[in-house]
Amino acid sequence: MRNLLYIDGAFVEPAGGGFMDVIDPATEERYAQAASASCADVEAAVAAARRAFDHGPWPRMPAVERAAMLRSVAAAIRADLEELAWLEMRDNGKPLKEARWDISDAAYCFEYYAGVAEEAAAEGDVVQDVGDERFHCRVRKEPVGVVGAITPWNFPLLMAAWKVAPALAAGCCVVLKPSELCPMSCGALARYLHQAGVPAGVFNLLTGLGQAAGAPLSAHPGVDKLAFTGSQATGTRIMQAAARDIRTVSLELGGKSPFIVFADCDLDKAVEWIQFGVFWNQGQICSATSRLLVERPVYEALLDRLRRAAQRMVLGPGDREGVQMGPIVSATQQRRVLEGIERGRASGARLVTGGGCPAHLTRGYFVEPTIFADVPVDSWIWREEVFGPVLCVRPFDTEEEAVALANDSRFGLAGAVMSDDLERCDRVAGALRAGVVWINCSQPTFTQLPWGGYKASGIGRELGRHGYEAFLEVKQITRFDFGSDWNWYQSAAEPSK
């Protein structure tokens, strides 16, 4: 399998002729290759997107026509769901079942934004009364222009869909740079958009490395808006690049999200959601609830249940029946996760379970589900994102203490609270400084709802109507109605006014 670039409506070889190996993390073997874009390809893709936006039909066509094309992309994704889920599993390592959820969500994302585009068009301009009848004022929203979308490897097609679908629905033109670790499903997306009749230049795909393709894309003055999901370090570089000529950015970055469990809840239900909150996708989840705060009376009992549940988890290649956790995405990420675990041991935290690679899996980048208890609040492992299957646990005595510990983080993407007392849950939800709060669950994500973080977890929101507005500029149009009172300048200058 060999994926090309997609620029100006054509699948093309990269200008420099380079291809990257794509590794299956369960076998450690190369299973595909993807084109490696360089500066010349970035120039060509941005120029094509610029032409399509400035002179092409896409931003000017009725929203219903754009929506029809997005719906056929959704249908194509659904038709190929099984094939795409396999691709995602081989690229990323995730269990096939989880890959199917992702692909189905990606299809729905295109359908949803098709509907939003039609809804927004039906609403039209908003007329604004300014208290002076000589002026007729309206507020209009217009596409922001050419979007540079840069995405990570943990949900390859879905993270691309979260940006591409609303941007195209809004009438923008897009240059997408997916992660070099998992580029294959975005190649399929380019085919679907092409087949749906999306005009040349409206969507462009640059697979390639961060430094060689992502950096020149984010620095390009022809890009009006940068939409990024990934690490804080890269987010900072992208913001710096955009700051040079004041371009808009939206950033979805990392987290170290808390999960507060009160003693009155059902511990089995708590175990279920805590596990899902940190071990799903091998813990490679920006919103992972990786800091667990447990009310002291049930602290040891819950730890014991969590230990047993973690030890029962089935690890293996994603296509094997019953597998709950696949490998980490790459050898480098596996090393980073293991280094994080070593820091945990060195911090003096108590290792409850896991802490290494499973002995029975000799091939693949597997890491055991790992739990640390009594984790010091000033330790690296409590404060920094591991981006792997590692849970840190601490006890608390009062609601105030739990909220203070939860909010004591430079991140603020998500948080969860579990208790039978729903009033208390609402109080805690209100007190958490995070963009997403789950009550009595962790991680369910809905396309219709805003997604994004406070503090160092990012800027802006994706998904829902907010995720569509993020690709719009706001324009006021003010008309003066000539009447008997046409000399407004002179009359407005009167001090009596």
Instruction: Please state the closest distance from residue 155 (CB atom) to ligand NAD, in A.
Output: 7
| By CB under 6 A, residue 154 contacts ligand NAD | yes
Cα angle value 420/425/428 (rounded, 5°): 145
Catalytic residue check, 98: no
Q: How many CA atoms lie within 13 A of 328 on its CB side?
A: 23
Binding to ligand NAD by CB under 6 A, coded x per residue (else -) over 240-259, reads ------------xxx-----
Is the Cα torsion angle 86, 87, 93, 98 positive or negative in sign? negative
Q: Which residues ranging from 309 to 338 are in contact with ligand NAD (CB under 6 A)? A: none
- Do residues 37 and 213 make contact, with C-beta atoms less than 8 angstroms apart? yes
Residue linked to tokens 């081989």: 90
Number of residues assigned to the chain: 497
Candidates 48-56, 103-111, 223-231, 371-379; binding stretch for ligand NAD (CB under 6 A): 223-231
Residue 348 CB neighbour total at 10 angstroms: 11
Q: According to the binding rule CB under 6 A, does residue 152 interact with ligand NAD? A: yes
SS3 label, residue 142: strand
Compute CA distances 74 → 38, 114, 123, whole Å.
30, 10, 24
Instruction: State which residue, 19 or 135, has the beta carbon closest to ligand NAD.
Output: 19
The piece of 24-32, 62-70, 175-183, 365-373 that touches ligand NAD (CB under 6 A) is: 175-183
Residues 100 and 82: their CA atoms lie apart, in Å, by: 7
Q: According to the binding rule CB under 6 A, does residue 229 interact with ligand NAD?
A: yes
Say whether residue 177 binds ligand NAD (CB under 6 A): yes
210 near ligand NAD, rule: CB under 6 A: yes
Cβ at position 23, least distance to ligand NAD in Å: 15
Q: Which residues pair with 127 in a beta bridge?
A: 138
Interface with ligand NAD: number of residues (CB under 6 A): 28
Regarding 286 and contact with ligand NAD (CB under 6 A), the answer is: yes
Please, which of residues 409-428 interact with ligand NAD by CB under 6 A? 413
Contact yes or no for 290/257 (Cβ under 8 A): yes
Would you count residue 215 as binding ligand NAD (CB under 6 A)?
Answer: yes
Is 252 marked active-site?
Answer: yes
d(CA 378, CA 382): 7
Any contact of residue 183 with ligand NAD (CB under 6 A)?
no
H helices of 359-456, where? 380-383, 399-407, 422-431
Catalytic site positions: 252, 286
Instruction: Give me the residues that bind ligand NAD (CB under 6 A), please.
Output: 150-154, 177-180, 210-211, 214-215, 218, 229-231, 234, 237-238, 252-254, 286, 385, 387, 413, 458
